[in-house]
Amino acid sequence: MEQLKTYLDSNKERQLEELLELLRIPSVSADPAYKEDVRKTAEWVKHSLEQAGAENIEICETAGHPIVYADKLIDDNLPTVLVYGHYDVQPPDPVELWDSPPFEPVIKKTRLHPDGAIFARGACDDKGQMFMHIKAFEAMLAHDALPCNVKFMIEGEEEIGSENLGTFCRANKEKLDCDVVLIADTSVIANDQPSITVGLRGLSYLEVEVTGPNRDLHSGVYGGAVANPINILSQMIASLQDENNAITIPGFYDDVEVITEAERAEMNKAPFSLDAYKKELKIDDVHGEKGYTTLERTSIRPTLDVNGIWGGYIGEGAKTVLPSKAFAKISMRLVPNQDPDTITELFTKHFESLAPDSVKVKVTPHHGGEPAVTPTDTPEYQAAHLAMKSTYGKDPIPQRGGGSIPIVALFEKVLGVKTVLMGFGLDTDDIHSPNEHYGLFNFYKGIETIPYYFHHYAELKK
């Protein structure tokens, strides 16, 4: 480990340069205009794995964007770690809100990142975090210190729901056979307080369309007598939450796992300052389901949010119009044991029933994903605990996360293995937002910690 540290320290600049190169390729999976850049990124990742010393490297075609597979199998008797990550990124929009172009990474200091942070789309989610695994692997190989077999599966469709990864996993069960899936795509509580994510929320994402009259109308000639689909849609959306901010869809909470008071008390012991939270977001108050703390609202409780809403005239100045159509994109974060298909169905039925006869509604489901919880009483989790303890000098706290990585539930179902979510970002790193960034401290800490994971895991499995 000493030698490894010396190697890592003397390669910091190169590691960073390489990451900046990766960040310059705009691998936006959602937008077909970037299709070739997404492929270029897969090629880049392949090349990087090659240079690090991986074998059996393949670009695996799917019905969508390709998956990069590679491995280094050293001994049948050693445990096998499957590293999963994604090289695709969210669209950078709204681009005008970035302080520097999203695909031209720059390093700047911030209050939470006094050593500097890399500003670019994908810096934290997930190029920066995925790349830590490649660099940690390179270092272990260079020092003959790889104590486990490793497989890499780096995909290009995580940000659009990993729709083709399930098929790939089912078709390649043997190739992906492993003892644990290790992922760096989540966050820690703070740079001086490590944590390990032990739960992810599921997701049901839909689009709704409300149609009034067959064409846009003069809002004076017809206004007051014909339903305005934007007014109606607003009312329908508003009614989805009651005065306690609980979701009103009948049956929505039926399958929600009940967490005991003792577990909730334990959860709320995690370091968290509501004041700092509000200050950081420049809000005077938080908003959420009555009876739950902010930590609970973002982990063990389901949510419903409008992600986008549009229709009518949104150009310069004023235009008097009664629009024909209104649209919204709505997502629900789910918790154990809610099933995304069931929730999608409940939403659809309820939403259709809300519509008055003066409009028509159409609900179109997008992607979904199941929630996941990971156990802490396993050697897989313990290895992560020991690894973070070694490099942060502090016990990491297990904490459920609010985000989703839909494929995690599938790993358990299809491959029969548990996942360990050892991520290194901060919740304030603005993933999916303008000015996404990733701390240099976090990047290097991740590269340093990952070899400890392999070391401790191999020891625990002896």
88 an active-site residue?
yes
* 405 lines the binding site for ligand BES (CB under 6 A): yes
Binding mask 169-188 toward Mn ion (x if CB under 5 A, else -) reads: ----------------x---
Taking CB under 6 A as the criterion, the residue among 199, 406, 439, 451 binding ligand BES is: 406
**What's the CA gap between 128 and 195, in Å, rounded?**
18
Assigned token pair, 350: 């309820």
The residue range among 15-23, 66-74, 123-131, 375-383 that interacts with Mn ion, by the rule CB under 5 A, is 123-131
Sign of CA dihedral 181, 435, 39, 20: negative
Size of the site for ligand BES (CB under 6 A): 17
Could you tell me whether strands 55-60 and 67-72 are parallel, antiparallel, or unpaired per DSSP bridges?
antiparallel
Determine which one of 125, 126, 155, 158 is catalytic: 158
Interaction of residue 40 with ligand BES, rule CB under 6 A = no
Q: Give the H/E segment covering residue 95.
A: none
Asked if 159 touches ligand BES (CB under 6 A), the answer is yes
Partner from Mn ion, ligand BES, none binding residue 64, C-beta < 5-8 Å depending on class: none
80 binds ligand BES (CB under 6 A): no
Q: What are phi and psi of 68, to 5 degrees?
A: -100, 125
Distances (CA, A) of 3 to 6, 139, 144, 275, 442: 5, 10, 11, 43, 21
Does 125 interact with Mn ion (rule: CB under 5 A)? yes
Positive/negative CA dihedral, 410, 451, 428, 440: negative
Counting contacts by CB under 5 A, is residue 126 touching Mn ion? Answer: yes
Q: Which amino acid is at 377?
A: D
- Residue 39 corresponds to which amino acid? R
| Residue 186 binds to ligand BES (criterion: CB under 6 A) | yes
Give the shortest CB-419-to-Mn ion separation in angstroms. 13
> Which residue is it, tokens 């401790």?
456
- Reduced to 3 states, what is the DSSP secondary structure of residue 309? strand
Looking at the DSSP assignment, which residues form a beta bridge with residue 243? none
Q: Any contact of residue 369 with ligand BES (CB under 6 A)?
A: yes
Question: Exposure of 192 by Cβ count < 10 A (0-12 exposed, 13-18 middle, 19+ buried)?
Answer: exposed
Least CB distance from residue 323 to ligand BES, whole Å?
29
Q: How far is the CB of 229 from ligand BES (least distance, A)?
A: 27
What are the strands of the beta sheet with 360-369, ordered from one edge?
A: 303-311, 325-334, 202-211, 360-369
Indicate whether 125 belongs to the interface with ligand BES (CB under 6 A): yes
Cβ closest to Mn ion, residue 129 vs residue 344 = 129
Catalytic residues: 88, 158
Positions touching Mn ion (CB under 5 A) are 125-126, 185
Positions touching ligand BES (CB under 6 A) are 125-126, 158-159, 161, 185-187, 200, 203, 367, 369, 401, 403-406
